[in-house]
Every structure is written in structure tokens, then in C-alpha cells.
Amino acid sequence: MYLVPGVGLKHEELERRRRVLNSFASQGFSVDIAAVSSGPLSIESYCDEYVCVQPTLELALKTEQTGYDGIIIGCFGDPGIEAFRETLKIPVVGPGEASMHVASMLGYGFTIITILKNVVNPLKVLARKLSLEDKLVSVRVIDKPVLSLSENVENTKIRLLEEGEMAVKEDGADTLVLGCMSEAFLGLSEFLQEKLGVPVVNPVGVSVKTAELLVVNRLSHSKLAYPPPPKKLVV
Amino acid sequence: MYLVPGVGLKHEELERRRRVLNSFASQGFSVDIAAVSSGPLSIESYCDEYVCVQPTLELALKTEQTGYDGIIIGCFGDPGIEAFRETLKIPVVGPGEASMHVASMLGYGFTIITILKNVVNPLKVLARKLSLEDKLVSVRVIDKPVLSLSENVENTKIRLLEEGEMAVKEDGADTLVLGCMSEAFLGLSEFLQEKLGVPVVNPVGVSVKTAELLVVNRLSHSKLAYPPPPKKLVV
Amino acid sequence: MYLVPGVGLKHEELERRRRVLNSFASQGFSVDIAAVSSGPLSIESYCDEYVCVQPTLELALKTEQTGYDGIIIGCFGDPGIEAFRETLKIPVVGPGEASMHVASMLGYGFTIITILKNVVNPLKVLARKLSLEDKLVSVRVIDKPVLSLSENVENTKIRLLEEGEMAVKEDGADTLVLGCMSEAFLGLSEFLQEKLGVPVVNPVGVSVKTAELLVVNRLSHSKLAYPPPPKKLVV
Amino acid sequence: MYLVPGVGLKHEELERRRRVLNSFASQGFSVDIAAVSSGPLSIESYCDEYVCVQPTLELALKTEQTGYDGIIIGCFGDPGIEAFRETLKIPVVGPGEASMHVASMLGYGFTIITILKNVVNPLKVLARKLSLEDKLVSVRVIDKPVLSLSENVENTKIRLLEEGEMAVKEDGADTLVLGCMSEAFLGLSEFLQEKLGVPVVNPVGVSVKTAELLVVNRLSHSKLAYPPPPKKLVV
Amino acid sequence: MYLVPGVGLKHEELERRRRVLNSFASQGFSVDIAAVSSGPLSIESYCDEYVCVQPTLELALKTEQTGYDGIIIGCFGDPGIEAFRETLKIPVVGPGEASMHVASMLGYGFTIITILKNVVNPLKVLARKLSLEDKLVSVRVIDKPVLSLSENVENTKIRLLEEGEMAVKEDGADTLVLGCMSEAFLGLSEFLQEKLGVPVVNPVGVSVKTAELLVVNRLSHSKLAYPPPPKKLVV
Amino acid sequence: MYLVPGVGLKHEELERRRRVLNSFASQGFSVDIAAVSSGPLSIESYCDEYVCVQPTLELALKTEQTGYDGIIIGCFGDPGIEAFRETLKIPVVGPGEASMHVASMLGYGFTIITILKNVVNPLKVLARKLSLEDKLVSVRVIDKPVLSLSENVENTKIRLLEEGEMAVKEDGADTLVLGCMSEAFLGLSEFLQEKLGVPVVNPVGVSVKTAELLVVNRLSHSKLAYPPPPKKLVV
């Protein structure tokens, strides 16, 4: 189950994303998608990250109760991932976490190409939380808000190409990661990979296959690491 | 202004805390206190941390508009501190952050004594986010939920003493930090300091004086570090 | 293709392992197995690691030429992984690398349980090469050579249980990793997981699914990171 | 008590500095100033740092015996701070240490702007000793010796502005620290802060308020960390 | 005994190198040289490194049995050093390891100037294995294969000078290390040192004197660190 | 030239130490010894370290002017090493620095066995300054002041043996370093090495041979790293 923490996506776009997600799934697996009904339009700052957690958490709980095998957080910043893991037993995949680990296996240093300068520091902090800060060469931005990405795909493509090239030439990255789910759902990673000659990690496909990896191996997060929160009233 | 992110404190306790806070303030400064009207009773897990941010953020915004000089987050885990800094221009003091920096100036390694095992990992992650993980020797727990701390103060005192002694003898700490505001408001730090022979950092006094330090020096967080979030609707 | 770098496994055991490998594969994928015809019986030291690379490298090259989609190195120490990546274009999965990255997603700190003290330092160095040394809590050994593991499975099971328990209780691990392929092929990870209450990462299943993840996402190692070696004679 | 470790300041300048120091003090606190009578003119190298310690240490001891509540070392490099802490019980504030900790609370990375290339490495080593090397983005120099700073304040101002701008634009700093007390006593930090749009930490004000913070909280360095030196003759 | 792991050197060149090695030896010490009879022509990639170990290991074993006091690996990448130490009791000097430790004593940060981009990442990984990655400022290449270095010494000299200058000016190195034995045997380090005004570490002389240091101090690697490999057949 | 920074050694003991030093020197090298005429009796705290620098610095300057090839600081804590390097052109060997680098080449982790708890933190800070903190497993003390070490050599021997054994068994060290020159001059390292089965690094011999290594290789510290201090009056 892929959980969208923002309210800014229309029904058709959700349906399109469901299809993209399932194009990565192995036989025997299918990915569902659901969006919160309240919260920010998109996740573009720490504020958005904190505010989106509560409604997504409720959605996640329902998902587990319905019997889904695992959850993918629908935002590259992995907002609230520790809270999900405290609450749920089924595996919780953070696209940022999974993508940075995969990128770490492909080379010596990766660059994340994301949307706005507002999320540069949050992504650096995420890498630090994952102990992968030594592998993160730089975070670059194409300087476009989430909801405008698909308005002019051609321009998004050019900007991704430009920043990707600078990441390799100026920052010394040998691997790239698309650092925003809406960016990733545009389906440009193979095009970029071919043009730039370095691996381009797409968090969509990586998240689906990481979820499968965990489910098939009967693995989930350690409850010693994420103990269930003490029971009490929330007013 | 000291902002309590939970709803579990009665009016008299809030008043008592206001007095304690002001006992640390220099002439010319006074500290007000306010609690959110919705949210968790207390902050004892990642879930609580994430859920408490939205209502506290609204309170914080009002505080700045009212003309206060700065804000102290009323929880040692500094929940949502980055969101506050994105939103506000006035300085935002995180008691965990301020206390760990002060403890770092007093010795080579400190232990945090906190309440429940649920917050051990969150506090270690906080130290890592602050780049102070090398100074954090250990996190120890007295194993009592927030709201029970004041029920049996004598027992809380004994448990703090026991864990403090083990921190020094077994973990090699030379400095201690009280890792929960409700623990700190019990006013036991000087007693512990005397008994244990090592500095015991009280986040209450440290936060008040750090707020003063910033205000007097006309310092606040960098807006390059915490740019204001892009304007948009939150549904 | 799963490549066994040692010569110590009989035909039936290779067949059995092929079946275990395929039990993790999604539909559309199948895993083949091949062993070198010269080299050490098993990999239990730096000496074994260095010596096994040349014959395995030749086998790997043939594998790529035959048209396989990817390669899994049949040893948890990932011997020669950089040489494979310099030589090949198809993805090369190191079971140690893949398992440590997966374990890093499940908790705050993992312990590797391996066979002999000879490989303790090599595995710590591997974690350091991967920049995951902060997540590696400890390496523990059951003190049995590779080829004796299956002779007395019951005893191996007990030793794994004992060391797993100590890893959790004494070292503070919240996640375990089986640190030897022959150990992992015994199929004990779910049993251990149930008994110990923490995730137990099995490098066999993790490697198969990591290979799939890379192939489905059309990812392979960066050739900027692993440039092809200069052409020249080897006498 | 603010202790000047060099002999190069005239009486009027000491008086002026006393006034600046007290402009930061809260009611109930007053700051005295004293300079050593032998030692280097100013502190601009490791040699100066080592040589100034002995006379300053004697002055510090007298200060404690006179009944002062704390000591501020009058040099940003914090020369001899560990020796002061071994010898004294009252808190010892190092302006470099205090300023770097405060700067760490204001953003993700700070640049120190200091005087001469001779102190660049000493300041990097100081950051490393404090475990804050990850927060120190760069050290920049205005290339003027201590005693010439006040000769042409206008030029000093321009140079600080130039280096501050480069720190932000080229090095990626989001916060600045004035890395020399004589630089800081010129009172330019607010001007720079306004012009550059990032916080500029002034070690003078930060040191005074850190001393107050410690005294009000009844905190001093741990005697486990800085045990008193064994008694013996110094010939 | 200096062991050449490649087969590409002619008899006269081996003799010349023996003379250079002995020019660094103290009275009472003499250095012998031997090359493997099979293996790669030179060591210019991970592949070469892995492949050269087995024949060199056999040569090393004979060396110890003959009664030599220690061994120097004849390649800056220290290929197989852990395997040598597992197998032998006499000290094993890795020129890369010894040179990086010496360079660390001469300044705050060194640049390695090596031959081809293929060995840049291997040398960075080597520095990381040694825990000296913080001292390694950069790795620069003159872009010439090993066996061509001596063909046009004048050009090699110019390229070393160019890269050395850029290391100091652009990367901020204060110390240089020649990162290839064939480069080092050209005898250019003093010329470079004079021209560039920074220390230039020559791994040839450093290795000879490190071997002496260990022998005179009766030191060798710890057998707890490098336990002998379990006895077994290699087919 | 070996410079003793304390005044506590009698003429005969200085002569004895000269003989020990020369027993490590190669033909063509001889080591002289000189002690300061004012300063602390011995170096057992940060206070001693800071206070001893000025007189030793004057002695060092004379040594260079006399034509000596290099200097060894006569204290394991390397007090004032940066000041010596700023002032002198000839190589300056710090026994602590040299010994820790050599120990790093012999295993994965070393323990320093020193005299008093007062120098435990200074030595940890020294390791951190050298970027070798990851290799330093622990610092252990025999709890005897410098000047009493030779009074009861038998007891010193037993205490070294006890602490060495605990370092290996409890702390996991694979290599030991004698962390005090007066301890090292007792000549017990080979005895300890034999008894404990791990390498025991003697800073006396290591320093002499490191000085030779530097002189023979015409290496000295980088003047970019340690620029000469600005000329000015010291009153």
C-alpha cells in the first residue's frame, strides 16, 4: 500500500501512479494507493512534513488492519517514518531511505536531485540519520514546486539533465537519485541514465521492490528499535 | 514564552512551572507559559512528537504575533523545532539541543537520564542530528511515565540517583543531563549534583538563559538554514 | 547467477542451494548456481578471500557472456566485489553489502553472527568500507568452520541462539544478520527470529531480491565508480 | 572576570572593553577585566597560545581566590582552557567554544572569520576538539594582525563584509562567527548581520551570557573531566 | 625483502630499484628484491590487485622461511596486506599505509598524486580502511600507465609538478604523497619538494625506514588482529 | 636531540636515558639529551603541559641553531608540538604521535597504558587531534606518578602486566602502547610483549627511528601547515 501524505493529487493522477507502481511489482504482488483527506497539498518543507504525519498515521493504521502486507510512504523525505514503525508491525518503506541505501551499493558517492531549496537541509539531515552522510555528495535542486513538475515536463526534463550533469562534473557524484516522488513518477530515470551515463535511482521502483524484498524475507522493523508508544489519550 | 506541547498539565502545575521558569530569568525578562488545547497528554514516543507539532505550531505563531521575544519548546525532545524555525523569525530554543551543547562544555562525555525506553532512540537520534553523538556517552531511563513523575517524588529522586551513579561508574560519564522537562521541573538537579559530584544540567534553567543569551545578542536562527515554507493551502 | 567461490561443496549441496535460492525468486526470475573448479575449499580468512577471486572472476565473465542478468557472490564477505564490478556491466550483488544495508533499514544497530574469529575483523572492515560501521554493534562468532556447520545442525542452531541472545542483551543490538552463506542456507532465520523477537536477516533471500530489485529497476553499478581496468597482459 | 592573556592593550582600551562587556551583562552581574603583566603582545599563533598560559593561569587563580563567580578567557582560541579547568572550581568560559556551540544552534554550518592564516589550523583543531568539526564549514581570514584591527576600522569592516559574503556564497555557510576578540570588540556584528542576512555570532556577548547561564544554573566543569593536577614543585 | 607483485619489470630495472632501496637503508640492513613469475604486468586496478596476491603470497612465504627480517609489498595500493599478515610472523610494510601515516605527521592534509583514474577510488578506500580519510585531502592523477612512466621522465616530472601545484592551490593540501612505486622510483621527490615548498613523501624511502623501525623495535603486526588462517586444502 | 621538558631527572638518569636512546640509533646517527632548567618536575596534567612549553621552546631553538638534524619531545603527551613546528624547520618528533601511528599499523585497535588518571583525557584528545580516535580502544592507568615509576620497578612491571591483560581481554585491544616516557625508559616492552602475546610499542625506540626516517628521507613538517608565527615582542 502506497500512502500519499498530501491532498494535492487528483483522482486520475492517483490512478496513473497506481499503474506505475504496479509496473514494478512482481507477480503475486499488487500495490494499492490511498491519499489522506486532510493535510498539506504537497510536502515541501519541515512544516509540511510534521503536519502530514497525523492524518497519514491514521490511514496507515487502517491499512494494517485491512490486511495489507506493507506500507510505502508516499514522500521521498520519509516523513513520520519512526512513528509509523512504532505503530505498525508490517514493514514500512521510506523511499528516501531505500533509495539512499540502493544508491550506496552502486558507487562511492551519490547526488540527490530534488525540487526546492527548502528540502535540501531536510534531505541532508535524513542522510545523516541513516548514517549515509559520507555517501551523499550533494543535494541539487531544479527549483520547481511539486505541483508544477508535470505542467511542463519538457522543462523539468531539461532541468534534471542540467543538474545531473553538474552533479557528475562539479560535485564528483557517480550515481544520482531522484529526490521527490512526483519527480520520480514522471518516468524519466531511464532517459536520464542513458544521457548521463551513470545510474539514476528511481524511488518509485526501488520502494516497490524493497517492500517485496522485506515481505518475501518475512522481515519487518525491529520492535526493540521502535517499541509501541505508551497507551494514552490524545485529546 | 514557554510552549507546552501536551494537554496533560493542570492549571496549578502550569502556574508552578511559570514560577520556576521565572526564577531563572534575569531582571528585564519574564517567561510566560501556554499549553496547547489539543494533542497528546504528554510526549513519550515518536508518535507523540509528530502529533503534537501542528497545534504547537499554531500556538507559536500566535506567540510571535503577540510580540514575544522568543520561544522555548516545552519538551526535551525538541519536537518540531525545524518547523518552528521555518515559520518564525524570533529565536526558538530546544531544551534538548541547548542542554546537550551546555553539557558538552562541561566535560568530555555526558549521559542523559530520561523517563522511558521509548525515548532512548529518539534522544540518540537528536544527538546525532546535533553532531554531538560523540559526546553522548549513554541514555539511561528511570522507567516512569511523564505524568507519574510527580506522584512519588521521593522514588523519582532515588531512581535518578541510582541511574546517575551507574552513568558515572559504568558508562564513564562525567556530566549528567536531565532528559525530560517534567523530570527537570521537580527541582532536583542541585541535590543530584551534590550527591553525585558531577554537573547535572537542568534543561529548564538552561533553556531560559539560552533564550536570554540569544535575545541579548540579537541572534536568531539563520533563515538560510530554515527558509520559510512555500505558501500554499493546508486542507 | 549465484557464484560459489570455493570448491568444498558437493553436487547435491549445490543443487539444494539452487532450490533454496529459487524459493525466494519472483516469477519470471530464476537463479542458477555455479562453483569454481579451483580455489580454497571455503572462505574463512583474508587469504581465502584474496585467493578465490581470480577463478571466480573468470566464472563471472563467462556468466555475463552467457547472458545472465546479474551475479550474486556466493560468500558473505563479498570477496573481490570491486574487481567484479570493474569487469562486468551486469549488476553484482554482495550478500554482506546487501544484508547490512537491509539491516540498517530495520533498526538502529545490528550484530553479525558469523563462524570463526578469523572473519571478525574482515567483516568490521567491510562495514567500514560501506560507511555502515556506526550501525554495526558487534560481530559474534559461533566458532565453527564453514564445512562443519551442516554436520551438526542442532548444535549450530543452539550456538546461533546463544550468540543472538547475547547480541541483544549484552551488545544492545536490535537486529541480527547471519554472517556466512553456509550458515544462512541452513534455513534457520525464521526460527531464530521467532525465538529472539528481533529481525534476523538472511543473506540468501536478501541477495536474490536485491538482484531482482536492480534488474527490474534497470540499475547496475556506476562505471564512473568502477571503470574497466586498463587492457594488458596477465602472465 | 574577563582575563586578557596578552600585554598589548592600553589602559583606555581595557576600560572600553570593560564597558562593552558590561553592556551585555544582566542586572546583578558585572564583569571585570584584567590583563597579564608578562607574555605575548597578542595571540596569533600556537606559540603565543602556549606561552600566554602560565601568566594567565596565575591571574586566574588570584581571580578565584578574590571571590569572582567565573572567568572568561580573553582570546577566541581558548588558550589553556583545560589547564584553567584543572586548576579552578569556578566556571571557565572559552569564547571560541561558547561561540561555536551557539552558532551550531542557529544553522547547519558556520564559517569563522578570523585575522591571520596562522590561526586557521588552530581554530580547525579547536572545532575538532569540541566535536563540532562537522558544523564548521570554513575558516576565512581578513589578513590583518590583531593590533592593527582598530587602526583602520573602516577597512576592517569592508574586509569582514567581503569574507562574510564569500563564506555564504562560496562555502555555503548559513551562520558566521567573529573569530578574534579584538575583531569582536569593534562592535560590528549587528552591522554585518544586517548587511549579510545571516546571524553573526559575537564572542564577546556570547561569552558574558554563557558565564551568566552557568552561574545562574550553578554549573561548572566536571572535576571528573578535569581532575586537579597532582601537587608538586614547579621550578 | 621488497616483493614486486607484477611481472612487467626487466632485470636491469629490478637491479636499479634494489640500489635505490639500499640507498635508504642504515648500516646493518640490506634490502633484497624479488618479483613474482606470474601475475599482471603492473597493478592498475582492483582486478590487478586481487589477481596479484596469490603468487606474491607464495613468494612472501618463501621469504620468511629463508630468514628475512621483514617484507615490503612492492605496490602503493598494499594489495593483499591482510593476507600477508595472516600468513607471516615477520613485519609486513605496506608503502601506502606507511606513507599515509608519515604524511599525517607532517601536516593537516595530504594529497596523493597517482597514475590513473582507476586507482583513485581504491586509494580513497585504503585511506578509509586506515582511518586516515580525514587527512586525505584529494587524490590526483597524472594520467599515465605504470609502464610508461619511465619512457618520458621529463613529461612525468612536468605532470607531477602540475598536479602538485593544483593540490596545494586548489585542494588545500599542505603535504604530498607519491602514490605509485614506479613513480616513486624515478627519484623526483626532492626536486618536487624544492619546487613546491611542501613535503613530498616518497614511499620507497619511507617503506625501507619503516621496516627498519619495526625490526629494531622488535615489533610486528598483532596475531590477535591477523590470526593465522584455518588450515585446509586449496585446490 | 631529545628534549626533556621537566626538571625532575638527575644527571645520571639523563645519562642512562641517552644510552637507551642511542641503543636504537643506526650507525651515523647519535642522540643527545638535554633538560630544561626551569618548569615542572614532570608532566602529569594539562597544567604541566602548558607550563613546560616556553622553556622547552627556547631549548629547541638553541638545538636547531647548534645544527642538530631533528628534535624529539621528551614527553608522550607531545606538549607544545605545534609551537615547535611553527618555530623550527628541522623535524619535530612527538612520541605520542609517532607511537600511535606505528600502533595503527600493527592491528585494528590499541590501548595506551599510562600513569595517572589526569592524563587519560589529554591522551584521548591527542588521539582525536591525530584523527586516530577510531583506533584508540582505551586508555588505562597504572596509577603511579612519573617520579615513582623507577622506585619500585617490580611493582610497575606487575601493574603494567595487569593493565595490559585487561586491555586485551576486556577492552578488545590487539596492540599496546606505553603511554609515558619514564615508563618506556624502564625497558620493559619486550618482556610485556612476550608475556602478553601482543605487540607493545615503546615510544623511545619508535621516536628515535621516526626521527631517522624523517632525516634520511629529507622530510620535515609542512610550513604551510605550521607557518612561522608573526614577529613581535614577548614581554
- Bridge-partner residues for F114, per DSSP? F141
Query: Which positions in chain C touch E225 (Cβ < 8 Å)?
Result: 121
- Cα distances (Å, whole numbers) of residue E203 to A121, E111, E179, E181, E219: 41, 14, 8, 7, 20
C229 conformational bin, left if phi > 0, alpha if psi -120 to 50, beta if neither: beta
Confidence of residue D173 (pLDDT cuts 50, 70, 90): very high
D44 or D76, which is more confident: D76
* Predicted confidence (pLDDT) per residue in E65-94, tens digit: 999 999 999 999 999 999 999 999 999 999
Residue in A118, A180, A234 to test binding to B, most B beta-carbons within 10 Å: A234
pLDDT at A183: 93
Percent of residues, chain A, with pLDDT higher than 90: 74
D107 or C49, which is more confident: D107
pLDDT at F177: 98
Strands D33-35 and D2-4: parallel
pLDDT at E108: 97
Listed in order, strand segments (DSSP E) in A57-151 are 71-73, 92-93, 110-114, 136-141
How many Å lie between the alpha carbon of C175 and the closest alpha carbon of chain A? 6
Domain A2-94+207-216 belongs to what topology?
Rossmann fold (3.40.50)
Query: Which positions in chain B touch A47 (Cβ < 8 Å)?
Result: 57, 83, 86-87, 229
Mean pLDDT of F126-141: 97
Query: Which positions in chain D touch B175 (Cβ < 8 Å)?
Result: 222, 225
* Predicted confidence (pLDDT) per residue in D57-108, tens digit: 989 999 899 989 999 999 999 999 999 999 999 999 999 999 999 999 999 9
Name residues whose C-beta falls within 8 Å of residue B65's C-beta, 6 or more positions apart in sequence.
none
Q: Mapping DSSP to helix (H, G, I), strand (E, B) and coil, where does residue E124 land?
A: helix
- CA torsion sign for D47, D50, D53, D54 is negative
pLDDT at D39: 83
How many Å lie between the alpha carbon of E88 and the closest alpha carbon of chain C? 11
d(CA B210, CA F206): 48
* A147 C-beta neighbours (distance < 10 Å), count: 16
Residue with cell 530520561: B114
Residue in D42, D47, D81 to test binding to F, most F beta-carbons within 10 Å: D47
- Is the pair B, D in contact (3+ CB pairs within 8 Å)? yes
* Predicted confidence (pLDDT) per residue in B167-204, tens digit: 999 999 999 999 999 999 999 999 999 999 999 999 99
CB contact under 8 A, F175 and E225: yes
Query: Which positions in chain C touch A217 (Cβ < 8 Å)?
Result: 24, 102, 201-202, 205-206, 209
pLDDT at B129: 95
d(CA B102, CA B96): 10
User: Of the ranges A42-51, A143-152, B154-163, E35-44, which is most confident?
Assistant: B154-163
ipTM above 0.90, yes or no: yes
Query: Which positions in chain A touch B129 (Cβ < 8 Å)?
Result: 125, 128-129
* Predicted confidence (pLDDT) per residue in A52-64, tens digit: 898 899 899 998 9
Q: Does C205 touch chain E (CB under 8 A)?
A: no
CB contact under 8 A, F102 and E213: yes
Mean pLDDT of E128-141: 97
Q: Mapping DSSP to helix (H, G, I), strand (E, B) and coil, where does residue A175 land?
A: strand
CB contact under 8 A, D199 and B212: no
Percent of residues, chain F, with pLDDT higher than 70: 98
How many Å lie between the alpha carbon of E84 and the closest alpha carbon of chain C? 8
* A134 C-beta neighbours (distance < 10 Å), count: 17
- Cα distances (Å, whole numbers) of residue A133 to A199, C134, C153, D171: 19, 12, 41, 18
Q: Does E232 touch chain C (CB under 8 A)?
A: yes
Percent of residues, chain C, with pLDDT higher than 90: 75
pLDDT at C10: 87
Among residues C43, C31, C60, the alpha carbon closest in space to that of C7 is found at: C43
DSSP string computed for A51-71: HHHHHHHHHHHHHHHHT-S-E
- Distance from first CA to last CA of chain D, Å, rounded? 28
Mean pLDDT of F55-77: 92
d(CA B123, CA B129): 10
CB contact under 8 A, C86 and E117: no
CB contact under 8 A, E86 and C45: yes
- CA torsion sign for E32, E38, E44, E50 is negative
Do A2-94+207-216 and A96-202 fold alike per CATH?
yes
* Predicted confidence (pLDDT) per residue in B39-94, tens digit: 888 888 998 889 889 889 989 999 899 889 999 999 999 999 999 999 999 999 99
Q: Does D146 touch chain F (CB under 8 A)?
A: no
Under a CB-based contact definition with an 8 Å cutoff, are residues F20 and F208 in contact?
no
* Predicted confidence (pLDDT) per residue in A9-37, tens digit: 888 999 999 999 999 999 989 999 988 88
* HSE, side-chain direction, 13 A CA sphere, residue D147: 14
* D34 C-beta neighbours (distance < 10 Å), count: 18
Among residues D38, D53, D46, D45, the alpha carbon closest in space to that of D8 is found at: D38
A193 has pLDDT over 90: yes
Q: Does E30 touch chain C (CB under 8 A)?
A: no
Q: Does D233 touch chain B (CB under 8 A)?
A: no
E41 has pLDDT over 90: no
Under a CB-based contact definition with an 8 Å cutoff, are residues A27 and A57 in contact?
no
Q: Which chains touch F (3 or more CB pairs under 8 A)?
A: D, E
pLDDT at D51: 87
CB contact under 8 A, A225 and C193: no
Strands B110-114 and B175-178: parallel
Q: Mapping DSSP to helix (H, G, I), strand (E, B) and coil, where does residue D223 land?
A: coil
Q: Does F42 touch chain D (CB under 8 A)?
A: yes
Name residues whose C-beta falls within 8 Å of residue E94's C-beta, 6 or more positions apart in sequence.
E73, E78, E81, F105
Any idea of the CA torsion for E225, E226, E228, E232, to the nearest 10 degrees?
Answer: 120
Facing residue for D26 by CB, picked from B26, B135, B217: B26
DSSP F197: S
- Cα distances (Å, whole numbers) of residue B67 to B4, B28, D67: 18, 15, 40
Q: Does D64 touch chain F (CB under 8 A)?
A: no
Q: Does D151 touch chain B (CB under 8 A)?
A: no
Q: Does D128 touch chain F (CB under 8 A)?
A: yes
Facing residue for E219 by CB, picked from F94, F174, F201: F201
CA angle C193, B119, B229 (to 5 degrees): 110
d(CA E135, CA E201): 14
d(CA B29, CA B63): 16
CB contact under 8 A, D206 and B217: yes
d(CA A52, CA A72): 15
DSSP string computed for C90-116: S-EE-HHHHHHHHHHHH-S-EEEEES-
Total residue count of chain B as it appears in this document? 235
Name residues whose C-beta falls within 8 Å of residue B197's C-beta, 6 or more positions apart in sequence.
D223, D224
Domain C96-206 belongs to what topology?
Rossmann fold (3.40.50)
Q: Domain ranges for chain D, please list them.
A: 2-94+207-216, 96-203
A206 has pLDDT over 90: yes
Cell (9 digits) for C38: 579451483
* HSE, side-chain direction, 13 A CA sphere, residue A186: 23
Q: Does D234 touch chain F (CB under 8 A)?
A: yes
Under a CB-based contact definition with an 8 Å cutoff, are residues A229 and A82 in contact?
no
Q: Mean pLDDT, chain C, as a whole number?
A: 93
pLDDT at A232: 66
**Residue E161 CA to chain centroid, in angstroms?**
20
Q: Which chains touch D (3 or more CB pairs under 8 A)?
A: B, F
Confidence of residue D37 (pLDDT cuts 50, 70, 90): confident
Beta carbon pairs, C and E, within 8 Å: 121
Q: Does C222 touch chain A (CB under 8 A)?
A: yes
d(CA A193, CA A191): 5
Q: Mean pLDDT, chain F, as a whole number?
A: 93
Query: Which positions in chain D touch B191 (Cβ < 8 Å)?
Result: none
pLDDT at B198: 98
Facing residue for B28 by CB, picked from D27, D105, D134: D27
Under a CB-based contact definition with an 8 Å cutoff, are residues D113 and D140 in contact?
yes
Confidence of residue F235 (pLDDT cuts 50, 70, 90): low
Mean pLDDT of E121-133: 96
Among residues A222, A234, A209, A233, the alpha carbon closest in space to that of A85 is found at: A222
Confidence of residue C147 (pLDDT cuts 50, 70, 90): confident
pLDDT at F7: 75
CA angle D92, D95, D97 (to 5 degrees): 85
What is the chain A residue with the closest CA to C100?
Answer: A101
- Is the pair D, C in contact (3+ CB pairs within 8 Å)? no
* Predicted confidence (pLDDT) per residue in E139-167, tens digit: 999 998 888 888 889 999 999 999 999 99
CB contact under 8 A, B47 and A40: no
* Predicted confidence (pLDDT) per residue in B4-41, tens digit: 777 778 889 999 999 999 999 999 899 999 888 888 88
Confidence of residue C5 (pLDDT cuts 50, 70, 90): confident
CB contact under 8 A, A45 and B118: no
**Residue D20 CA to chain centroid, in angstroms?**
14
How many Å lie between the alpha carbon of C24 and the closest alpha carbon of chain E? 31
Residue B138's H or E segment, with its range, is strand B136-141
Which CATH number is associated with domain B96-203? 3.40.50.12500
pLDDT at E233: 57
Q: At what angle do helices E95-106 and F95-106 cross, to 10 degrees?
A: 160
CB contact under 8 A, A106 and C209: no
Any idea of the CA torsion for B90, B96, B100, B106, to the nearest 10 degrees?
Answer: 90
d(CA C34, CA C15): 10
F233 has pLDDT over 60: no
- Cα distances (Å, whole numbers) of residue A215 to B45, C180, F218: 26, 22, 62
Residue with cell 584508540: F136
Beta carbon pairs, B and D, within 8 Å: 138
Beta carbon pairs, A and B, within 8 Å: 121
CB contact under 8 A, A45 and B235: no
Beta carbon pairs, D and F, within 8 Å: 121
Facing residue for B45 by CB, picked from A37, A86, A122: A86
CATH among 2.170.150.20, 3.10.20.30, 2.40.37.10, 3.40.50.12500 for A96-202: 3.40.50.12500
- Bridge-partner residues for F51, per DSSP? none
Confidence of residue B231 (pLDDT cuts 50, 70, 90): confident
Maximal C-alpha separation, chain C = 54
Q: Does E177 touch chain F (CB under 8 A)?
A: no
Query: Which positions in chain B touch A230 (Cβ < 8 Å)?
Result: 44-45, 116, 118, 145
Residue E76's H or E segment, with its range, is none
How many Å lie between the alpha carbon of B30 and the closest alpha carbon of chain D? 13
d(CA B152, CA F171): 40
